[in-house]
């Protein structure tokens, strides 16, 4: 009997509505075709690789605590994994489908892939130089050791043999290659070994090759117990243990060589929105296939003989451009485990406790606090707890009648989801818009959707063809004879874990205009109908792009008229060509433009006659810079906006996003003073973008006391 997925509660399911197709705003900037010249645009993929260079630079920085340097190395490796799984895989698919037209930068798909291979090979080689020549020796000086096989003593060898026989051998399944055992399907990013053999087995077979796939349940780092260790923090690589005992997998045969390799695959889910009746069940069916998508990269030990490398390349239909020979573990990101296993606070960033603003610290009724004034929270320096308290109080308050919320990434065991479940079970009207297609969080979001369904909440999956990326919550409360709306809007996800690692800004308010706009957006997401008019919020895919361009053009007009004109903006990425052209026009008009762009930036600053007044910097530090802040001088009446959206095509046209004004003058000043100015002054963790798309480290004015934005904010906000 076949088993089928358990259906969710049919009475509460909401299928994804469709948004009315909206044409792009008139491209008035196209009147000047010179601003569309390919030489004015940096290639998106190469800019992303440049960002990973800046991450890797943190692993080389002696001013960064040693174990945190290891963390940055692992982050760089993990970022590259995703880069190949998504970006490179997408380019390969475009090539396969014959979509070879160049992007704004003029590079074709073939040219882009060739440049990616060149840059990525250099970046990967640098990763292993950092590991082998810098981090491992420095850790050894701090009595944190990775013990090579040649250094094992007799006692350790005996312990390793017992560990292998007891903990590993029962889980390993070697696959000899012969006509009855073809090359196995290897999992995406899994550790594997190709083993060269001599001799015949019990059946007289002698193919000479075998594959060993290592289960993910086995730890890649193995702590060495006392008394076999030389210190408290000695480790073995799993690959070293397998190398030492690979003969035990092939009794009676001689092992001529054992070499690790790993394959990266296309991880995009193949769900055709237009053909799907039930997005949740469609994704449930596609998730297992992610492990076996098309191959896009092969990593193999650099001591592997060329004939075996060629054999692997043939099996995966990859060439030299997609093959990376590495001097160390092929899965660097699994070294992240050492950071948790080594209890050495002196080798990590100092601990800090996010603060709760004074006016909330002793407030039992958060709704009363919001009625007194809007509340701005700057994470991670200020705690995310007030947002959780807002939802928990809403769940338990007998006067609250409805809660509506978007969930893009919430995390396992989410306190936010727990509050929604409690509210639904308590009889309140709870609506959750869960984006099932949040990349690499799909499985977790499916579980959240089913959990909320079971609690009695109304669950919708966003909009077909548009990811719901907006971060918003709406609480409707009966107060006397009227209903009052309370909202939370932010730049980051409702994820208590990342709220301690990402910089984000959120606003709690009961402003009638904001409440009405958020209410209308939720009606649009759960129901059907045309785009509702919004009074304060800019919404993608409808009005956000046009309003951003309009504000940039207004600054240009003000500059020409001799009025105060300035643009300051902070975001994760800048790629959208129309916005870039608007910025170029504004620069030509004399507008001073400062951009803090953490990751991808396709705009070229400092081009004579085009972008001379545009400055771009990137800040990479302890926390991931994630807030989106847009500040327009507006002729002396400054406007400050917070947004869930970057200035990218996907955010402007393919996602449901919000961008909202900070209307309280004091809070707007605070957003600029905390979210923008410290980053423009940073000379400790900041990088300045050059005209050619590369970056240079900003040199501190005072080497003994560099200005580090994140450190200054921790001191200012947490004490």
Interior CA angle at 636 toward 568 and 508, to 5°?
A: 60
Looking only at the bridges linking them, the beta strands covering 400-407 and 429-434 are: parallel
- 321 near 114, Cβ under 8 Å? yes
**Helix boundaries (H) for 149-295:** 154-163, 238-245, 279-286
- 365 near 396, Cβ under 8 Å? no
- 168 near 242, Cβ under 8 Å? yes
Fold match flag (358-535 vs 539-718): yes
3-state secondary structure of 653: helix
Active site residue 362: no
Look at residues 249, 62, 94, 287 and name the one whose alpha carbon lies nearest to residue 172: 249
Sequence-distant contacts of 1-5: CB under 8 A, at least 24 apart? 5/281, 5/284, 5/285
Tokens of 666: 């004091």
Under the banding of pLDDT at 50, 70 and 90, the label for residue 106 is very high
Look at residues 630, 629, 596, 600 and name the one whose alpha carbon lies nearest to residue 614: 596
Q: Dump pLDDT digits (tens) for 669-700.
A: 999 999 999 999 999 999 999 999 999 999 99
pLDDT at 262 over 50: yes
pLDDT at site 3: 41
Domain extents for the chain? 118-347, 358-535, 539-718
- 618 near 54, Cβ under 8 Å? yes
In angstroms, the CA 567 to CA 585 distance is 13
Under the banding of pLDDT at 50, 70 and 90, the label for residue 464 is confident
21 C-beta neighbours (distance < 10 Å), count: 7
pTM: 0.90
97 C-beta neighbours (distance < 10 Å), count: 8
In angstroms, the CA 487 to CA 660 distance is 12
Under the banding of pLDDT at 50, 70 and 90, the label for residue 203 is low
CATH topology of domain 358-535: Endonuclease; Chain A (3.30.870)
Q: Dump pLDDT digits (tens) for 308-366.
A: 999 999 999 999 999 999 999 999 998 999 999 999 999 999 999 999 988 898 888 99
Q: What is the mean pLDDT of the chain?
A: 90
Return the percentage of the chain with pLDDT > 70, whole number. 90
* 22 or 702: which leads in pLDDT: 702
- 467 near 435, Cβ under 8 Å? yes
In angstroms, the CA 325 to CA 317 distance is 16
Q: Given 245, 469, 495, 626, which residue is catalytic? A: 469
Q: Which CATH number fits domain 539-718: 3.30.1330.200, 3.30.390.30, 3.40.430.10, 3.30.870.10?
A: 3.30.870.10
Maximum Cα–Cα distance across the chain: 90
The DSSP 8-state label assigned to residue 160 in this structure reads H
The 3-state secondary structure of 545-563 reads HHHHHHHHHHHHHHHHCCC
Domain 118-347, architecture per CATH: 2-Layer Sandwich (3.30)
pLDDT at site 180: 67
Look at residues 493, 482, 508, 526 and name the one whose alpha carbon lies nearest to residue 373: 508
SS3 content of the chain, % helix, strand, coil (to 5): 40, 20, 35
3-state secondary structure of 670: helix
pLDDT at 665 over 50: yes
Please list the residues that pair with 488 across neighbouring strands: 473, 508
Residue 697, C-beta contacts closer than 8 angstroms, at least 6 positions apart = 57, 686, 687, 688
In angstroms, the CA 627 to CA 505 distance is 6
Q: Phi and psi (nearest 5°) for 270?
A: -90, 75
Residue 49, C-beta contacts closer than 8 angstroms, at least 6 positions apart = 83, 116, 119, 120, 123
In angstroms, the CA 596 to CA 604 distance is 13
In angstroms, the CA 223 to CA 225 distance is 6
Rounded to an integer, the average pLDDT of 590-604 is 98
pLDDT at 564 over 60: yes
- 630 near 595, Cβ under 8 Å? no
């Amino acid at each position: 009997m076949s088993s089928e997925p358990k259906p969710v509660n049919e009475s509460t399911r909401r299928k994804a509505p469709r948004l009315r197709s909206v044409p792009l705003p008139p491209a008035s900037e196209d009147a000047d075709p010179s601003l569309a010249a390919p030489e004015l645009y940096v290639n998106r993929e190469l800019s992303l690789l440049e960002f990973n260079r800046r991450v890797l630079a943190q692993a080389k920085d002696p001013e960064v605590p040693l174990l945190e340097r290891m963390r940055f190395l692992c982050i760089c490796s993990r970022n590259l994994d995703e880069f190949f799984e998504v970006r490179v895989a997408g380019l390969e698919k475009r090539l396969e489908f014959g979509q070879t037209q160049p992007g704004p930068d003029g590079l074709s798909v073939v040219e882009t892939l060739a440049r990616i291979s060149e840059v990525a090979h250099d970046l990967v080689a640098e990763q292993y130089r950092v590991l082998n020549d810098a981090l491992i020796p420095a850790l050894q000086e701090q009595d944190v050791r990775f013990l090579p096989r040649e250094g094992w003593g007799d006692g350790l060898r005996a312990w390793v043999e017992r560990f292998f026989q007891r903990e590993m051998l029962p889980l390993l399944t070697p696959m000899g290659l012969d006509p009855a055992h073809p090359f196995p399907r290897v999992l995406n990013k899994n550790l594997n070994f190709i083993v060269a053999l001599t001799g015949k087995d019990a059946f007289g077979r002698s193919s000479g090759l075998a594959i060993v796939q290592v289960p993910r349940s086995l730890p890649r780092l193995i702590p060495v117990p006392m008394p076999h260790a030389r210190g408290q923090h000695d480790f073995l690589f799993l690959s070293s243990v397998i190398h030492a005992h690979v003969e035990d997998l092939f009794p009676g045969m001689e092992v001529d060589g054992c070499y690790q390799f790993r394959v990266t695959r296309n991880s995009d889910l193949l769900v055709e929105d237009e053909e799907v009746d039930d997005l949740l069940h469609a994704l449930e069916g596609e998730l297992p296939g992610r492990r076996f998508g098309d191959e896009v990269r092969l990593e193999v030990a650099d001591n592997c003989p060329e004939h075996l490398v060629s054999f692997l390349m043939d099996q995966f239909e990859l060439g030299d451009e997609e093959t990376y020979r590495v001097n160390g573990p092929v899965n660097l990101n699994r070294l992240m485990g050492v950071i948790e296993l080594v209890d050495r606070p002196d080798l990590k960033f100092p601990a800090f406790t996010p603060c709760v603003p004074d006016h909330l610290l002793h407030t039992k009724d958060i709704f009363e606090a919001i009625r007194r004034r809007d509340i701005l929270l700057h994470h991670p320096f200020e705690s995310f707890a007030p947002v959780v308290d807002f939802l928990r109080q809403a769940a338990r308050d007998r006067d609250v009648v409805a809660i509506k919320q978007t969930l893009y990434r919430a995390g396992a065991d989410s306190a936010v989801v727990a509050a929604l479940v409690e509210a639904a079970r308590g009889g309140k009207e709870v609506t959750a818009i869960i984006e099932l297609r949040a990349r690499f969080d799909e499985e977790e979001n499916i579980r959240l959707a089913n959990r909320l369904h079971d609690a009695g909440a109304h669950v919708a999956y966003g909009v077909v063809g548009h990811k719901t990326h907006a971060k918003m919550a709406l609480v409707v409360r009966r107060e006397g004879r009227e209903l009052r709306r309370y909202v939370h809007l932010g730049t980051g996800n409702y994820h208590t874990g990342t709220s301690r690692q990402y910089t984000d800004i959120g606003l709690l308010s009961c402003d009638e205009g904001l409440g009405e706009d958020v209410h209308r957006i939720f009606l649009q997401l759960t129901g059907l109908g045309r785009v509702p008019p919004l009074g304060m919020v800019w919404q993608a895919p409808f009005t956000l792009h046009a309003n951003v361009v309009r504000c940039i053009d207004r600054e240009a007009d003000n500059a020409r008229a001799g009025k105060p004109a300035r643009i300051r903006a902070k975001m994760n990425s800048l790629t959208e060509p129309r916005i870039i052209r608007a910025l170029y026009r504004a620069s030509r008009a004399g507008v001073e433009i400062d951009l803090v762009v953490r990751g991808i930036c396709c705009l070229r600053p400092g081009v004579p006659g085009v972008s001379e007044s545009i400055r771009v910097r990137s800040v990479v530090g302890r926390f991931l810079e994630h807030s989106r802040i847009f500040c327009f001088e507006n002729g002396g009446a400054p406007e400050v906006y917070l947004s869930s959206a970057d200035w990218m095509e996907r955010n402007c046209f393919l996602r449901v996003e919000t961008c909202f004004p900070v209307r309280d003058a004091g809070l707007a000043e605070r957003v600029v003073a905390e979210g923008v100015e410290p980053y423009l002054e940073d000379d400790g963790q900041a990088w300045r973008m050059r005209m050619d798309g590369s970056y240079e480290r900003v040199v501190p004015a005072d080497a003994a006391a560099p200005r580090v934005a994140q450190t200054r904010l921790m001191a200012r906000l947490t004490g």
